[in-house]
């Protein structure tokens, strides 16, 4: 129950220790002295080797190989031979298409924090508390999150066709002026994709926040109410601060998800029209996989890694530190 107890602690606003710390500190056997018996060594090897082999091979080796390939001009046929140093990196950074892709990822991340977060939080605050149909709501709101992005993308692709369901829906309520070429308009396409992504992920956010809200003690609110606090003051000064850890995790997930955005875009627009919805990930696949520029694609993949990695470390360092200290950085003894 530890993990979930941690989650529970997060909800009550207590600072949860890092997984594996505090009450749940991994205990070696108390009898374990400095030396392991031969038998224990064998057991350890047996337990750890399969996971390590799989992990090292597919995660670490593939990343290391990408770094290696990124220094070559390589079309993928035969072994890479034309060493070009950092040329792939400088080329990528100078390419307006790639710059555009980075900008789109950042726009997406900013939009989710500025638009999705208040929306999600607001809905969760409204929905907090017990009411008839709560279980059904939870079930329905979570559904899009369970469906694959591919299915989401195909469904919305059909609905957003010119003269399709969305257009007809708008016309039927007299909003003809709002009808647009949702996926063909260069200035609009990113926002269209953002709306689709919001549809898919808002239910998850609402349920995450509802879970967090369950941990805000009713006594605190009642005390605040007795002291004459208005509903708004209670929300602002008591509920939101206690919800802090959940909000910070939501932002983390949301930004990382925005930086890696691929499937919705790939299926709905292939990054088009004219690269106006390209993201870093679609750029990697387009150049590396479709155009056989494997060296160049690897370099862009490494850049994408770097962006996500730096964000995760900085966020971990400055925002999440108090909530999940050690979850990623490990607990160094």
Partner 1 sequence: MALIAPRRASAPGRRPGTPLSTAARYLAALAVVGVTAVPLLFVVLGGFRTNAQINAHPTGWPHPWVFANYTRILGSSSFWRFLFNSTVIAVTATALTVVLGAMAAYALSRYAFRGREGLYTLFAVGLLFPLGVASLPVYLLLRQLHLLETWYGVALPQAAFGLPVTIVVLRPFMAAIPGEIEDAAAVDGCTRLGFFWRILLPLARPALVTVAVLAFLGSWNGYQLPLLVFNDQSHFTLPLGVATFQSQYSQDTASILAFTALSMLPALAFFVFAERRIVGGMTGAVKG
* Contact residue for partner 1 among 110, 168, 237, 314 (CB under 8 A): 168
Cα–Cα distance between 250 and 238 in angstroms, integer?
Answer: 19
Distances (CA, A) of 1 to 8, 27, 214, 246: 10, 16, 18, 19
Our finding on whether 153 is near partner 1 (CB under 8 A) is: yes
Q: Are 213 and 243 spatial neighbours (Cβ–Cβ below 8 Å)?
A: yes
- Closer CB to partner 1, 187 or 273, in the complex: 273
Count of residues for the chain?
Answer: 333
10 Å CB burial of residue 97 (0-12, 13-18, 19+) is middle
Rule CB under 8 A: say whether 314 interacts with partner 1: no
Cβ closest to partner 1, residue 84 vs residue 293: 293
Residue 31 tokens read as 């009898």
The site map against partner 1 for 212-241 (x = CB under 8 A) is -xxxxxxx-xx--------x----------
98 binds partner 1 (CB under 8 A): no
Closest CA to 149 of 110, 116, 193, 187: 193
Q: Is 117 in the site for partner 1 (CB under 8 A)?
A: no
Closest CA to 69 of 333, 238, 288, 224: 288
Is 271 a residue that touches partner 1 (CB under 8 A)?
no
Exactly one of 14, 47, 110, 178 binds partner 1 (CB under 8 A); that residue is 47
Considering only 126, 187, 226, 318, the residue that binds partner 1 (CB under 8 A) is 126
**Based on CB atoms, which residue is closest to partner 1, 110 or 158?**
158
Determine if 106 is a binding residue for partner 1 (CB under 8 A). no
Q: Does 191 bind partner 1 (CB under 8 A)?
A: no
Distance of alpha carbon 264 from alpha carbon 104, whole angstroms: 14
Minimum distance from CB of 90 to partner 1 (Å)? 19
Return the residue of 14, 76, 291, 314 that touches partner 1, per CB under 8 A: 76
């Amino acid at each position: 129950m530890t993990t979930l107890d941690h989650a529970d602690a997060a909800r009550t606003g207590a600072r949860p220790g890092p997984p594996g710390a505090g009450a749940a500190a991994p205990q070696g056997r108390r009898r374990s002295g400095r030396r392991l018996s031969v038998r224990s060594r064998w057991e350890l090897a047996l337990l750890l080797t399969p996971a390590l082999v799989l992990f090292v091979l597919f995660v670490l080796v593939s990343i290391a190989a990408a770094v290696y390939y990124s220094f070559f001009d390589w079309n993928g046929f035969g072994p890479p031979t034309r060493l070009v140093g950092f040329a792939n990196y400088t080329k990528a950074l100078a390419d307006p298409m790639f710059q555009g892709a980075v900008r789109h990822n950042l726009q997406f991340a900013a939009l989710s924090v500025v638009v999705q977060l208040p929306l999600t939080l607001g809905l969760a605050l409204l929905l907090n508390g017990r009411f008839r149909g709560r279980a059904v709501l939870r079930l329905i709101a979570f559904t899009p999150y369970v469906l694959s992005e591919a299915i989401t993308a195909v469904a919305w692709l059909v609905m957003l066709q010119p003269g399709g369901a969305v257009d007809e829906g708008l016309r039927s309520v007299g909003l003809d002026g709002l009808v647009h070429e949702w996926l063909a308009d260069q200035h609009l396409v990113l926002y269209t994709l953002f709306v689709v992504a919001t549809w898919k992920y808002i239910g998850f956010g609402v349920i995450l926040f509802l879970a967090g809200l369950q941990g805000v003690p009713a006594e605190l609110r009642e005390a605040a109410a007795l002291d004459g606090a208005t509903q708004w003051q209670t929300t602002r000064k008591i509920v939101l601060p206690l919800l802090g850890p959940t909000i910070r995790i939501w932002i983390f997930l949301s930004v990382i998800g925005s930086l890696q955005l691929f499937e919705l875009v790939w299926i709905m627009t292939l990054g088009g029209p004219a690269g106006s919805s390209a993201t870093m990930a679609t750029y990697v696949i387009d150049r590396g996989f479709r155009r056989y520029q494997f060296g160049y694609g690897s370099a862009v993949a490494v850049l994408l890694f770097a962006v996500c990695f730096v964000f995760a470390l900085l966020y971990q360092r400055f925002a999440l530190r108090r909530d999940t200290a050690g979850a990623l950085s490990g607990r160094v003894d």
